[in-house]
Structure 1
Amino acid sequence: MASSRLERIGTIYTRVEGLLIRGAMKPDDRPVWFDVYRAFPPIVEPKFAKPKPEIKPIRQILYKEDTIRAKFHANGQGFGAVNMLNPAGETHTKKLIQQYEKLKSEGVPESELIEKSVSAIGLERQQEAPKAVPKNPDSVTSHVLADADLKNIFKK
């Protein structure tokens, strides 16, 4: 059976506009999108006969740091949360990569690079961890919190 090829002639907008002008469609029955399309027409009119864009393969972009990052994260060494509001601070992964490069330039064997850089950054991270300062140092809560050992809290 032969089918109609009218969808290839004009756009849906021009066909609805033709129906409205000729009275085949009442103005109250026009689609919701029609007035929006009329007010904000697209830059390039969508046509059926428009040629498809050429699909180009996506080039793989890998940096030397990506392999180091992959090694850290494969072993579960990558650190999670990053403060995006502090643009001056470096991420822990960036610090790990810098430490890795520093140790590599010093001649540390490849098998020990990741472990040593993780331990060095771990020590640095523990030293820079902020201590909670209570508002009222004489309160009972501040004394309890000062004596609390969070690492061993569930061992009892």
Structure 2
Amino acid sequence: MMLETESLLLRGAMKPDDRPLWFDVYRAFPPIVEPKFARAKPENKPIRQILYKEDIIRAKFHGKGHGLSSNMLSLTGETHTKKLIQKYEQLKSQGIPEEELIDKCVVGVDSERQEASKTTVQNPDSVSSHVLAEANLKSIFKE
């Protein structure tokens, strides 16, 4: 296909503005192995599962409905789930039984969040406070 398109361009049968989008990319980055229909299919290798230690902890929290909230205006960049995992690791190192860990983590992180919201002084002149004051989800979806 590349040779045909190149020949059409050289002979003037195709204008340079009418060339296909892939033509320049293919010319700049030619494949290592020429694509052919007669080539044998590659071997299908199974996809290796990648699970981290935090994924299992995350699944426990999400299974009980915790860790799903997020604050997009948070300046720290830490998600609720990340805080729960940190609290989980902290309490586990203290020797708390596995059955009680999730509930204690949720209580601990929620109390920390409530304390932080009490001590945080909101700037009434900030852009985010104006956006939050004017936000009305019901009217957003009506339009």
Q: Taking structure 1 as the reference length, what is the TM-score of the superposition?
A: 0.57
Write 1 or 2 for the structure with the bigger share of helix. 2
> 1:13 — aligned with what?
2
> Which of these residues, 20, 40, 46, is aligned with residue 33 of structure 1?
20
Distance 1:85 1:54, change over 3 A: farther
The whole-number CA distance in structure 2 between the counterparts of 1:127 and 1:81 is 17
> 2:67 — aligned with what?
78
Does residue 132 (structure 1) correspond to residue 122 (structure 2)? The answer is yes
Distance 1:50 1:120, change over 3 A: same
Helix, strand or coil at the partner of 1:55:
coil
The whole-number CA distance in structure 2 between the counterparts of 1:66 and 1:84 is 25
Superposed CA offset, 1:106-135 (max 9, x none): 222222110111000000011112343546
Distance 1:16 1:109, change over 3 A: closer
Alignment of 1:137-148 (within 5 A): none
Helix, strand or coil at the partner of 2:78:
coil
Q: Taking structure 2 as the reference length, what is the TM-score of the superposition?
A: 0.62
Q: CA RMSD in A?
A: 3.5
The whole-number CA distance in structure 2 between the counterparts of 1:126 and 1:120 is 10
Unaligned stretches of 5+ in structure 1? 1-11, 136-156
Shift, 1:89, TM fit? 4.1
Number of aligned pairs?
A: 120
> 1:142 — aligned with what?
none
Helix, strand or coil at the partner of 1:62:
coil
The whole-number CA distance in structure 1 between the counterparts of 2:47 and 2:106 is 34
> Which of these residues, 54, 60, 80, is aligned with residue 49 of structure 2?
60
Helix, strand or coil at the partner of 2:20:
helix
Say which structure, 1 or 2, has more relative contact order (CA 8 Å, 6+ apart): 1
Unaligned stretches of 5+ in structure 2? 126-143
Shift, 1:69, TM fit? 0.6
